Amino acid sequence: MRKRIYEIIEVSQDNDKASMCYDILMMISIVISVVPLAFKETNTLFHVVDIVTTTLFITDYILRFATADLKLGKSGILTFIRYPFTPWAIIDLVSILPALSILSSGFRLLRLFRIFRTFRVFRVFKAFRYSKSITIIINVMKKSKEPLLAVCVLAVGYILISALIIFNVEGDSFTTFFDAIYWATVSLTTVGYGDIYPVTTAGRIITMLSSIFGIAIVALPAGIITAGYLDELNSEKDSNKT
């Protein structure tokens, strides 16, 4: 029984209609639960939606906790103690915490829990669990963490070096070193807000070179993730064939 529950609440397989229906139900619930965030006012409908969706999330959390040993692949009481501290379990719990604001109308002390209403935005991350594409991307990020980490180190080094150079060349335009770091970050991403910019010829030449190198650095993680994504899709197709 527990094994079947685990199969249903996990991301659906192609031939498991019950699991697919469960995923669709949870995705719809997540989307509906964040709709009230787009409105400053609240009403009875939003209150009912909050109660219904939160009930579903609590049920989902209880079912996942009850099958934690199957999820983690280990048996024993320590598995159930460990599960609430896993990343997905934390996201699930944070998505439930805003429900405490429902009780605040009856208890003055519990009004302090209204701050948890701001955690509703984390319900969006809960949707990642039910998306196969996002799951694939997460797997790609895990497998490509070493080259991505190398690119991050390269980007940080680029920002610091560029900031040091422009800070010493453009002393009048950049009053603090943080301004130089901000400029270097904007140049790296080729956004170019235009609120801080060099005015000397040397500073402009540095900006042009910085932007050119910035384009190359920004393109690296995109290429790594794309290649990893294609490899993951191909491996998944091969596993389905076998």
What does the pLDDT average to over 145-152?
86
pLDDT tens profile 184-241: 888 887 776 777 778 888 888 888 888 888 888 888 888 888 888 888 777 767 666 6
Q: 214 and 190 in contact (C-beta within 8 Å)?
A: yes
C-alpha closest to that of 128 among 97, 91, 82: 91
CATH number of 2-130: 1.20.120
Please report which confidence band the pLDDT of residue 147 belongs to, taking 50, 70 and 90 as the band edges: confident
pLDDT tens profile 38-82: 787 778 888 888 888 888 888 988 998 988 888 887 777 888 888
The residue written with tokens 């998944």 in the block is 236
Q: What pLDDT score does 43 carry?
A: 84
What does the pLDDT average to over 165-175?
84
> What CA–CA distance (Å, rounded) separates 140 from 226?
9
For helices 177-188 and 201-241, angle between their N-to-C axes, nearest 10 degrees:
50
Q: What pLDDT score does 108 carry?
A: 46
Please report, for residues 48, 90, 110, the alpha-carbon distance to residue 33 in angstroms, rounded to integers and kept in the order given.
10, 18, 22
C-alpha closest to that of 214 among 177, 180, 184, 194: 184
What does the pLDDT average to over 145-150?
86
> What CA–CA distance (Å, rounded) separates 56 from 96?
10
Q: What pLDDT score does 104 carry?
A: 53
For the domain with range 143-241, which CATH number is right: 3.30.750.200, 1.10.287.70, 3.10.20.30, 3.40.50.2300? 1.10.287.70
Q: 7 and 19 in contact (C-beta within 8 Å)?
A: yes
> What CA–CA distance (Å, rounded) separates 27 from 95?
13
C-alpha closest to that of 144 among 50, 231, 45, 33: 231
DSSP state of 114: G
Domain ranges of the chain: 2-130, 143-241
Q: Has this prediction a pTM greater than 0.75?
A: no
Q: Does residue 109 carry a pLDDT above 50?
A: no
